[in-house]
Amino acid sequence: MPEPPAAGRAGPASAKRPDPPSGRCWHLPGLDSEAVAGEYEATTETGGRVRAPRLTTAQAIHVASEVRAAALEARRERRLAEVLDAASRAAGRLADPGDPAGREAADVLGRELGWSAAASGRTLRDMAEVWRRDALADLLERELGDPAVLDAFRPDPDRPGRRRRALGAPLQFLVLSGNVPGVGVTALLRGLLARSGLLARVSAREPGLPALFARLLAQEDPLLGRTVAVTWWPADEAAPAWEAWSARAGTVVVYGGAEAVAGVRARVGAAADLLVYGPRTGIAVLLPDAPPGTAAALARDVCAYEQRGCVSPRLVFVVGGDALDAGAAVAEALAAEAARRPPPPLSSDEAVRIRAVRAEAEFAGLAQGASPGRVFGPEDLSWTVLAGGEPGIASTALPRTVWVHAVPDVAALLALLAPLERRIQAIGTAGDRGLAELAEGAAALGTSRVAPLGRLAWPPADWRHEGKHQILPLLSWTDWEDAAG
Amino acid sequence: MTRAAAPGGFPSLAADLKEAFTTWDGAPWPDGRFDELALRAFALQFETNAPYRAWCRARGAGPGTVRSWRDVPPVPTAAFRAVDLVAGPTDAAALTFLTSGTTGGAARRGRHLVLDPGLYRTSLRAAFRRFVLAGAPPVRILTLVPPPTAAPHSSLSWMLEDVRQAFGAPGSRCLAGAEGIDWAALAAALAAATADGSPVAVLGTTLALAAWADRREGATGGPPLPPGSLVMDTGGTKGRAGLDRDAVLDCLLPALGLDADRAVNEFGMTELLSQRYARGRGPGLLHGPPWLRTAALDPVSLAPRPDGEEGILCHWDLANAGSVLAVLTEDRGVVEDGTVRWLGRTPGAPPRGCSLATAELLAAQERQDA
């Protein structure tokens, strides 16, 4: 099992965080950098500056045209196998500590997240599991049956006399609003496999990695490098690229929160397909026969991505048990995990938010008298368990922070979770008693994955993210019926 | 040393505080004076509020161990959402102020119960007189915030109405209601003041001033307001994109014929019954009365940051004797020589990729269902 990230420089927020990012976050094929009039600039969560060229409408359109032309050329000049080779090599280099590019990637990511380069390197290596050539080829095989449809017409095995071909839109516009480490690279890989030209707007919080990937791809294969454009602009700016890129894309893919999604939805042309990966959360369920060691497995899932991921379990439900007992066990496991893998330093904002949820829970418990909740966690805020109180579904993504509630049975749990329909990404489970009922309920709620705790944070390469296929939604099919068919 | 709550409980302490606030001569207070009153307030709050007492005990703090105001453990503002922090029975509260409640994705609004409006009044008037009026003769006060009859749980409404009644010259008016600001009435009131040569003070939120600036933009400036006039804003820009207080002042002040030092910025919170004030543009130095002490703390260890270094602002406010003395905010700031430079709020729950606050999950769900 991949190891969770950890920081070399662990300790309280007052400990020095890595220097903020200042790296280049753009890769714009065809742009005459001499003609760029100015830059967009912003301060990131970790206090770094993000800068990117201020494109005019004409420049944004020119980049889109160049990328489209290169993508159409690549469809003629490159076989899928060559795309797989080059793309997986470029992505693999991001996670290779022996490659200067891998060291740069770990450095960029570490500075963006405020993690040590060692911790970000480990996270990149976890992510790279799904970027490997065999994993990508397997994914295509599983979704398409015959991936060669991405190169040419192929006989339809079930329909004699019919051939079929699949291609993505010539231009795909990706809005990478999220900051889960590496997800932007995964999104670019999916687009490349769909044989699309890619126009990507990165998030100010994780701006560096997609552009670095695009530059590495250009090193591996200059033509493919010209099929990807990456840059950043402030979300609230009326940047010309918003209009120029969304209007030209046949497919628009959005990662991020409700606001980001709504903003993009309003801009996308009626003819474009819109694919949304919105806000979701992970949940952990301890069934009555949960085996010993469950809390330790849960703690690994909690610490894996510092609760940033949509699979990260923020809410823990103990079925037919006691919330305070379970909370104490989870607390003990998180303390042990913290000793093994010290957490990255907290940002000031994270510390404030953790202290706020602790204070609210603690005072609510003190005010209740009967069945009070309890807050577990060290003074340095490095992990927090908010156990007991009125069972609920409120939670916030905060580093190593979990809410633990007791429910009498699986039916009661499913009733409690009803408002989260299509908002639960994954459910991590421990124990068998009630598991089938829980899995059936999870499917009804639109949950994309049910997996044992300890594996929740590491979805397999062919996981149907948000319940969707990864490649199929990006494709358009052409059936060619023979005269004889 | 065990320190019992003041004999006479809250009424006696409140009477002493009112006396101290009313007779303040503008000079700083020696540590001993602040400490004596702070420890009485803490002992009272510890004795009379069971959840607060339990919370302090869990931190090893009690009247026996707290020797100075700095030892009083600060309560995060989030606690106001969970419990009534009142130094007495909740039904004794004369006023209930609610926070705007949306910051940080919190579903519930914070609640600050006020036992003695007179104590609040005494504190806010003394500071307003010194830092806003600064010894000038009475001015017409025009407020751009709905009155308490329209916003009964707004501490800002209550405060502005109180200073209008206490200090406003004849012709002072509240120009907002539940439906918003009466801009025509504002224009008429300013024209009348200009015609009379009577100075005016226009008090409102920063957002109200921004809306006012928007309305003036492009219009020809009228005659300047009479000397002694001022504007006061409060509340900041609440993170509203593209809104910059300095830009608002740059638009508004020349049009009104006011110098930058006639712009006052008020810093207040529902959870605090005292306020601070700064003058001019930029994140100015916020001055407050000597019964309000502020420190910038390390966000994790809560150790005080050295003077001039950024931290999370924590206030010890004697006007909060009836609720809770030490309040840990979610504001970033710098403390220099007892004055405060406010640098903004922490942005709330950090936006986190595909893992977002349940509040947002539910909001998204509601929008979808609508």
The residue-averaged pLDDT of B79-83 equals 91
Q: Does B352 touch chain A (CB under 8 A)?
A: yes
Q: Does B306 touch chain A (CB under 8 A)?
A: no
Q: What is the pLDDT of residue A23?
A: 60
Query: Residue B347: helix, strand or coil by DSSP?
Result: coil
Tokens of A5: 């990230």
Name the band, by pLDDT with cuts 50, 70 and 90, for residue A300: very high
Residue B176, pLDDT > 50, answer yes
Q: Does A46 touch chain B (CB under 8 A)?
A: no
Helix (H) or strand (E) holding B141: strand B140-143
Torsion angle of C-alpha atoms A71, A74, A80, A83, degrees rounded to 10: -80
What are the pLDDT digits (tens) for B89-139? 888 899 999 987 544 444 578 899 999 999 999 999 999 999 999 988 889
Tokens 């066990």 identify what position? A329
Chain A residues with CB under 8 Å of B81 CB are: 360
Backbone angles phi, psi at A215, to 5 degrees: -65, -40
Cα A225 from Cα B60, distance rounded (Å): 61
Supply the pTM of this predicted model: 0.84
Chain B residues with CB under 8 Å of A420 CB are: 358, 361-362, 365
What are the pLDDT digits (tens) for A76-90? 999 999 999 999 999
Q: What ipTM does the predicted assembly reach?
A: 0.88
Cα B124 from Cα B292, distance rounded (Å): 11
Residue B232, pLDDT > 70, answer yes
A window 76-115, beta carbon within 8 A of B: none
What are the pLDDT digits (tens) for B19-31? 999 999 999 999 9
Q: What is the pLDDT of residue A236?
A: 74
Residue A39's beta-bridge partner residues?
A53
Q: What is chain A's length?
A: 485
Pairing of strands A374-376, A228-231: unpaired
Nearest CA in chain A to B80: A360
Tokens of B363: 């909001």
Q: Does A403 touch chain B (CB under 8 A)?
A: no
Cα B274 from Cα B185, distance rounded (Å): 30
